[in-house]
Amino acid sequence: MYKILEKREIAMRNTWYKIHAPHVAKKVQAGQFVIVRAFENGERIPLTPVMWDRDEGWIVLIVFTRGKTTMRMAMEMKEGDYLPDVVGPLGNPAPMERFGKVLAIGAYTGIVEVYPIARAWQKIGNDVTTLHVTFEPMIILKDHLERAVSRHIVEPVPLDPNLDLKENMRNVTKRLTEKVREMLEKEDYDLVFMVGPVGDQKAVFGIVKEFGIPMRVDLHPIMVDGSGMCGACRVTVGGQIKFACVDGPEFDAYQVDWDELIHRVGFYADMERKAMELYMA
């Protein structure tokens, strides 16, 4: 059992959990993730340790409320409660190389995964710029990133109550793609890295490709067991079947079959929405 040492809402729909999980804290590296089961018989959700302390044995997870389980966590769990399972660390650590000048992009809560990787890349001598594009009330980790990398840019997009969610999200995609184009036109980068919704990753990749810059992405299709057994996180990369949980989560954006991935993610999003509706009924 894994005790919740701290829990607080840090931005709209973003909750910070400090969890006592010594076996994860001892070994986790930037780029890896854990699978959390928050409730007995509940679904398993993949989450990224954002920071950790190996000596004190804790990790921090920032959880975006987007489906039934994360909603229950936000509403029902409190400090002192226990999570039944925190399995990990899983997946491969991000490659720790001297790339040079790096642009690391987080759309929405993707910045949670960008943070530990960007920080580690900067520490080993890369010149890292991070870009966070999200709705204004959902800005997170700003101070942390300003301390960790050469330059941190936040592009807040107002959440317009007169628009539906899809239209609001279209505004984020627009701001994101415009900003990336502007940055690539102004400066030379050796690598672009991005975490965020797959549709936005594909849109940014379209721009990066025009500039011929290497690009890597963390992919997050639906995950169940996190150990390569269930097949849920299947992606096609370089014409071969890969499992994001054991072969990734980081891949070469030029090799990803984006259309197939978008189709698969969309299918599960519908199921997730139905579970949420049942819970809220």
Q: Is 233 annotated as a binding residue?
A: yes
Q: To the nearest whole angstrom, how small is the minimum distance from the Cβ of residue 58 to ligand FES?
A: 25
Identity (one letter) of the amino acid at 168? N
Contacting residues for 26 by C-beta, under 8 A, at least 6 apart? 54, 57
243 binds ligand FES (CB under 6 A): yes
Q: To the nearest whole angstrom, how small is the minimum distance from the Cβ of residue 252 to ligand FES?
A: 19
Q: On the CB side of 75, how many CA atoms lie within 13 Å of its CA?
A: 10
Q: Which of 96, 159, 213, 230 binds ligand FES (CB under 6 A)?
A: 230
CB of 154 or CB of 224, closer to ligand FES: 224
Q: Which residues pair with 192 in a beta bridge?
A: 103, 215
Q: Which of 95, 231, 238, 266 binds ligand FES (CB under 6 A)?
A: 231
3-state secondary structure string, 38-89?
CCCCCCEEEECEEEEECCCCEEEEEEECCCHHHHHHHHHCCCCCEECEEEEE
228 binds ligand FES (CB under 6 A): yes
Q: Is 230 annotated as a binding residue?
A: yes
224 binds ligand FES (CB under 6 A): yes
Q: How many CB atoms are located within 10 Å of the residue 197 CB?
A: 19
Q: Which of 51, 71, 183, 232 binds ligand FES (CB under 6 A)?
A: 232
21 binds ligand FES (CB under 6 A): no
265 binds ligand FES (CB under 6 A): no
- Selected range binding ligand FES among 183-191, 201-209, 223-231, 271-279, rule: CB under 6 A: 223-231
CB of 30 or CB of 222, closer to ligand FES: 222
CB of 31 or CB of 208, closer to ligand FES: 31
- Selected range binding ligand FES among 140-148, 150-158, 164-172, 231-239, rule: CB under 6 A: 231-239
Compute the distance between CA of residue 236 and CA of residue 252 in angstroms, rounded to an integer.
Answer: 11
Q: Which residues pair with 16 in a beta bridge?
A: 8, 62
Whether residue 248 contacts residue 91, with contact meaning beta carbons closer than 8 Å, is answered with yes
Query: Within the chain, how many helices (H) and strands (E) appear?
Result: 8, 16
Which letter does DSSP use for residue 30 in this model?
Answer: T
Whether residue 100 contacts residue 56, with contact meaning beta carbons closer than 8 Å, is answered with no
**Binding residues for ligand FES, total number by CB under 6 A:** 12
Contacting residues for 181 by C-beta, under 8 A, at least 6 apart? 207
Q: Which of 88, 116, 226, 249 binds ligand FES (CB under 6 A)?
A: 226
Q: Which of 43, 225, 257, 272 binds ligand FES (CB under 6 A)?
A: 225
Q: To the nearest whole angstrom, how small is the minimum distance from the Cβ of residue 221 to ligand FES?
A: 8
Quickly list H helices, 124-225: 142-148, 165-186, 198-211
**Binding residue numbers for [2Fe-2S] cluster:** 230, 233, 245
**Chain residues in the site for ligand FES (CB under 6 A):** 223-226, 228-233, 243, 245
Residues placed in the known binding site = 230, 233, 245
